[in-house]
Amino acid sequence: MKFNPEKLKIKDQRMVPFIDPEEIWGIIRDNPSDAKLVKGIVAKSLDKQRLTLAETAVLVNTTDPDLVEMIKEGARQLKEKVYGNRIVLFAPLYVGNNCTNNCQYCGFRTSNKDTIRKTLTDEELIEEVISLEETGQKRLILVFGEHPDYTPEYIAHSVKLVYGVKKDNGEIRRVNVNAAPLDIDGFRIVKDAGIGTYQVFQETYHPETYSKVHLGGAKRNFDWRLTAFDRAQEAGVDDVGLGVLFGLYDWRYEVLGIIRHTNHLEACYNIGPHTISFPRIQNASMLNVDKAHFVSDEDFVKLVAIFRLAVPYTGLILTARESAEIRSEIMRFGVSQIDGGTKIELGGYSDKKSENQNLNKEQFQINDSRSLNEIIDELLGNNYLPSFCTACYRKGRTGEHFMEFSVPGFIKRFCSPNAILTLVEYLEDYAPEHTKKLGYEVVEANINDLSQNYDMGELKGRIARIKAGQRDLYF
Ligand code: SAM
Ligand code: SF4
């Protein structure tokens, strides 16, 4: 298929599809790896500068083990120096799995008659949120299939319902959404409901592969999906989450696809993606994809490190699709958000009987089924600072990752203290004794570290107020 945007006769030039496979492959071909180049590119990123497509191509072409190590070490340093040790926690909440699309990798696709279809009633959705609040969650992403029932009004209704559920000291303070692309009016409706990030994964930036794996329904339209965030921006939804489903096509091409998309958003709207997600294909009921492009663990670590270096200001999300071991390994290379206590079966959080995974009820198989507290234990044990912070979004500081990254001292003045305050809330309200002990040791160590440059009086005062029963204190 020849890329010819002229033919589309689109009036607003920003909405013209911008992915040209020949251009992307040309950039990969023209930028072989070379020790001196890799060194310079890693140094540029550590100097907090975005990488170009050509520079990213050099990194994806790198196979020499010493140079790959240099890339990974660069990503580790960037994460440590720029973002510190915080990891933000969230949970996905599946609202409805009706779907009119026929994506060959997804258990919810319309041709899968084995799937048990369900849309949560309002009461069931409330039950799910109560169960999540009872474990300490503060940030959710609502997930929907693509179906005429899931209108913008319905998505907005679900978001508002979730914000309204308060159990004891529990509340959800940020609701993100992963759903089909909307038109501009649709995005306006969900924006008004107070959503955080709107996530839509392109799945693959390779149009031919895209056509092969999307066999029916509205999702067949590659360009409509590709331009979703242009419409989102037009509607004022400026926190957007990009993603690729790794395993559908060559991972090197897909990494460049995401960077091309990032360049487009930056050039047209002066704002890059809030987050990048990089799910790898997992087993699913009736999974029907060619395994030729499945990504090895080794390449997976490499590609995450490359994302960290290429777009240093964007949050990177690693989900429970991956095993606990892989998650621990990869976190060091620049991941900023993970899910915890994840259940992807419809109604799975409130259904205490259903402990085992059942592929007919789920979109795909997850490989990390640890509880939120088990994940927090591991994070604390490895000196990470678990965070449920939602402050920037609620203070109107949108583009927070950008500020963290570019405003000197921002993390130490805002992010770390807010992470500490939300962790203290968790320790007081939900943690068992051993987690509480470990958690306060980590809090202490972080305060000591911050006190070298900042007065900790206000933070210590707020911690005391939380211990005395106040909640939701943030900077
Ligand atoms: N229906 C929405 C859509 O298609 O955009 C969202 C559903 S889903 C939670 C979000 C993502 O899960 C999809 O965009 C896809 O990347 C991913 N996914 C689907 N099937 C998968 C599988 N078998 N393994 C891993 N991830 C999968
Ligand atoms: Fe439906 Fe989304 Fe699954 Fe595709 S990935 S079948 S659109 S739920």
**DSSP states along 366-416:** -S----HHHHHHHHHHTT-EEE---HHHHTT--SHHHHHHHSTTHIIIIIH
- Among 393, 420, 451, give the residue marking a domain's end: 393
Q: Are residues 224 and 324 in the same domain?
A: yes
Q: What is the mean pLDDT of residues 235-259?
A: 97
pLDDT tier at 310 (50, 70, 90 boundaries)?
Answer: very high
Q: What is the pLDDT of residue 36?
A: 98
Token pair for 172: 């959800």
pLDDT at 380: 98
Q: Quick one: pLDDT at residue 66?
A: 98
Residue 145 CA: which ligand 2 atom is closest? 8
Residue 219 CA: nearest ligand 2 atom is 7
- The answer on 422 and 309 residing in a single domain is no
Give the percent of the chain with pLDDT over 70: 96
Mean pLDDT of 323-341: 95
Residues lining ligand 1, Cβ inside 6 A:
105-106, 143, 145-146, 178-180, 200-201, 203, 245, 279, 281-282, 284, 287, 321, 363-364
Residue of 202, 276, 364 best suited for mutating to test ligand 1, as the one with most atoms within 8 Å of CB:
364
* pLDDT tier for residue 403 given thresholds of 50, 70 and 90: confident
- Residues 382-391 have a mean pLDDT of 96
Question: Taking 70 as the threshold, does the pLDDT of residue 399 lie above it?
Answer: no
Token readout for 397 is 């500081």
Distance between Cα 106 and ligand 1 center (Å) = 6
Question: How large is the average pLDDT for residues 267-277?
Answer: 93
Domain boundary residue, one of 393, 422, 440: 393
Write down which residue in 331, 364, 393 finishes a domain: 393
Q: Taking Cα atoms as reference points, which of 196, 96, 193, 186 lies closest to residue 143?
A: 96
Could you identify the atom of ligand 2 that is nearest to the CA of residue 144? Answer: 8
Check pLDDT > 90 for residue 408: no
In this predicted model, which residue has the larger pLDDT, 90 or 114? Answer: 90
CA dihedral in degrees (249, 313, 242, 141; nearest 10)?
130
Q: Which ligand 2 atom is the nearest neighbour of the CA of 106?
A: 3
What's residue 379's pLDDT? 98
Pocket residues: Cβ below 6 A from ligand 2 = 99, 101, 103, 106, 108-109, 145-146, 219, 363
84 confidence band (pLDDT: 50, 70, 90): confident
User: What pLDDT, on a 0 to 100 scale, did the predictor assign at position 354?
Assistant: 60
Least confident of 38-42, 84-88, 241-245, 257-261: 84-88
Does residue 433 share a domain with residue 327? Answer: no
Residue 246 lies in a domain: yes
Domain contains 317: yes
Nearest CA to ligand 1 atom 10: 178
- Total domains, the chain: 2
Q: Assess contact for 376 and 386: CB atoms under 8 A.
A: yes
Nearest CA, atom 8, ligand 2: 145
Q: How much distance in Å is there from the Cα of 285 to the middle of ligand 2?
A: 13
Q: pLDDT band at 46, cuts 50/70/90?
A: very high
CB 110: neighbour CB atoms within 10 A?
20
Are 381 and 418 members of one domain? no
What atom in ligand 2 is closest to the CA of residue 214? Answer: 4
What local confidence, expressed as pLDDT, does residue 278 receive?
98
Residue 64 within a domain: no
CA geometry: angle at 123 spanning 132 and 172, to 5°?
A: 35
Report yes or no on 69 lying in a domain: no
Residue 273 lies in a domain: yes
Whether residues 211 and 309 share a domain: the answer is yes
Residue nearest to atom 2 of ligand 2 (CA): 145
pLDDT digits (tens, 9 = 90+) for 186-232: 999 999 999 999 999 999 999 999 999 999 999 999 999 999 999 99
The predicted model gives 228-243 an average pLDDT of 95
pLDDT score for 15 = 74
Q: Provide the pLDDT for residue 401.
A: 72
177 and 282 fall within a common domain: yes
pLDDT of residue 319: 97
Residue nearest to atom 6 of ligand 2 (CA): 109
pLDDT per residue as tens digits for the range 130-157: 999 999 999 999 999 999 999 999 999 9
pLDDT above 80: residue 263:
yes
Ligand nearest the Cα of residue 288 is 1
Half-sphere exposure for 2 (CA within 13 Å, toward CB): 3
Going from the Cα of 281 to the center of ligand 1, the distance in angstroms, rounded, reads: 9
356 confidence band (pLDDT: 50, 70, 90)? low
Q: Which residue has the higher pLDDT, 245 or 11?
A: 245
Q: Is residue 307 domain-shared with residue 419, that is, in the same domain?
A: no
Q: Give yes or no: residues 292 and 374 share one domain.
A: yes
pLDDT of residue 362: 81
Residue from 98, 99, 224 whose mutation best tests the ligand 2 pocket (most atoms within 8 A of CB): 99
Q: What is the mean pLDDT of residues 21-30?
A: 98
416 and 365 in a single domain? The answer is no
Q: What is the mean pLDDT of residues 229-247?
A: 95
62 within domain boundaries: no
The encoded tokens of residue 278 equal 């990089």
- Whole-model pTM? 0.95
pLDDT beyond 90 at 358:
no
Domain range spanning residue 333?
81-393
CATH code for position 244? 3.20.20.70
The residue nearest atom 21 of ligand 1, judged by CA position, is 106
- CA 108 from centroid of its chain's CA atoms: 21
Whether residue 305 is contained in a domain is answered as: yes
Give distance in angstroms: CA of 409 to centre of ligand 2.
41
Question: What is the Å distance from ligand 2's center to 210 Cα?
Answer: 13
Q: Are residues 437 and 332 in the same domain?
A: no
Mutation test residue for ligand 2: of 116, 146, 200, 285, the one with most atoms within 8 Å of CB: 146
- pLDDT exceeds 60 at position 296: yes
Amino acid 209: pLDDT? 98
Is 438 found in the same domain as 377? no
Residue 39 lies in a domain: no
Q: Is residue 167 domain-shared with residue 270, that is, in the same domain?
A: yes
Question: What is the pLDDT at residue 9?
Answer: 63
